[in-house]
Amino acid sequence: MSTTLITGGTVVSATGRGDADVLIDGERIVAVLAPGSELLGTDVAASVDTVIDATGKYVIPGGIDAHTHMELPFGGTSASDTFETGTRAAAWGGTTSIIDFAVQRYGERVQDGLAAWHEKARGNCAIDYGFHQIVGGVDDDSLAAMRGLLDEGISSFKLFMAYPGVFYSDDAQVLKAMQVSAETGLLTMMHAENGPAIDVLAAQLAEAGKKAPYYHGIARAWQMEEEATHRAIMLANLTGAPLYTVHVSAKQAVDQIAWARDQGWNVFGETCPQYLYLSLEEQLGGFSEEWGQFEGAKWVCSTPLRSSKDGHQHHMWQALRTNDIQMVSTDHCPFCMKGQKDLGLDDFRAIPNGIGSVEHRMDLMYQGVVTGKITLERWVELTSTTPARMFGLYGRKGVIQPGADGDVVVYDPHGHTSISAATHHMNMDHSAWEGYEIDGHVDTVISRGKVVVDGGKYLGSKGDGHYLKRGLSQYLI
């Protein structure tokens, strides 16, 4: 077991900031000290194995990305990041834990889907990882299996109001699953879009010859998200189930969540960097010599990007400030343009839905601090502390305090990061964030006491990450 002292930095939490030294012994934080303190009469810096100088930099808890899809089969292919490549890229970007989604599809057993995801991840992750459970086939067997998820360290499950024939649950199935949620305390996560109506709109657009990537967002109109969000909220209220709406992109859906929260209900929402910075116009304007108008496929995801003309991005930042939206995840689900996105070259309906961002979330959200959209403390809260509280990890993750895991990031506000496919570490042949410039830089990343990134070098190893058994949400009213 080695000891590490991070000295000279400003420790930032969700509630404040201050100059302090952080002492890590083995895998855990053992002390947060006044700068230059002695411990039991001993000069701490002289007694540890490693000293990290964080002078002029921020010392923050490692990021937690609570919504990723490594190796997810979708649209006739699979997400291009494996658990090995995706978690390594996450570490490069200051994320030290992910929560991925184990998948059960219609006709499959929940237990088999979970076992398959354990097999994919075991021994391959660079950072710690946990699972949510996708329940894509709500029936008596899966409802019974849900009651055993807590024993597996899984305290949240996901339903889909979208993707008929793949993951879709109708209202009756949602109701039954939410009843189990209310009984057990499991957190219901919801992909809230009216899938059957979207499929009709998409077919009508295709029949009219409108098959370019841009029309993906037109088919998935904001009304489809607002309606489904309201429906999910009302079913959750009826059953008493806590509800967490994933990847919220439309300002009207935010307003539904805000309304429910104003009633005092256990309703929460997450957004993603793409809905804060990117817009539907990316797909309309995207053009390259290689891909022509199909360049817009880089930004095809679901829920879709929204028009900047309607103020969705501004409204989303506002919701983060007012806590109507509680956290920012990535919905990291990367696909390469060649051999994957181009499956939909002739029809947007066949483009695999997803954007790769797991490496960039901490930087992109820090840029919101630079531009005055959020505070430094809110940055930490949105990207680390609230994910830990929401998903039963707080105390171990999401905070710098004695007893917590030694997951620490040293972030340089005077550094600079240029985002490009030429330099990112995700397994993708393009970047949705090509050309973005960040006024800050991840300098050092420590995962459970081990330095995994430092000085532009990767020092971690495959298998460094451990499975996280999670408890019930610590964010419920």
DSSP code for 407: -
Q: Could you report how far apart the first and last alpha carbons of the chain are, in Å?
A: 40
pLDDT at residue number 40: 60
pLDDT digits (tens, 9 = 90+) for 27-67: 999 999 999 887 766 788 888 999 999 999 999 999 999 99
What count of other Cβ atoms lies within 10 Å of the Cβ of residue 49? 11
Residue 358 backbone class (left: φ over 0; alpha: ψ -120 to 50; beta: rest):
alpha
Which residues is 100 bridged to in the sheet? 68, 131
Nearest to 430 by CA among 93, 83, 80, 90: 80
Please report the sign of the dihedral spanned by the C-alpha atoms of residue 203, residue 209, residue 212, residue 214: negative
User: Which domains are delineated in the chain?
Assistant: 71-389 (3.20.20.140)
Residues whose CB is less than 8 angstroms from the CB of residue 303 and which lie 6 or more positions away in sequence, other chains included: 193, 220, 225, 247, 248, 249, 250, 275
What count of other Cβ atoms lies within 10 Å of the Cβ of residue 259? 14
Residues whose CB is less than 8 angstroms from the CB of residue 263 and which lie 6 or more positions away in sequence, other chains included: none
pLDDT at residue number 41: 62
pLDDT digits (tens, 9 = 90+) for 104-136: 988 899 999 999 999 999 999 999 999 999 999
Percent of the chain with pLDDT over 70: 100
User: Residue for token digits 């949510």?
Assistant: 132
pLDDT at residue number 128: 98
pLDDT digits (tens, 9 = 90+) for 61-75: 999 999 999 999 998
Nearest to 122 by CA among 473, 477, 471, 464: 464
The answer, yes or no, to whether residue 289 has pLDDT greater than 90, is no
Residues whose CB is less than 8 angstroms from the CB of residue 374 and which lie 6 or more positions away in sequence, other chains included: 317, 320, 321, 365, 368, 382
pLDDT digits (tens, 9 = 90+) for 302-337: 999 999 999 999 999 999 999 999 999 999 999 999
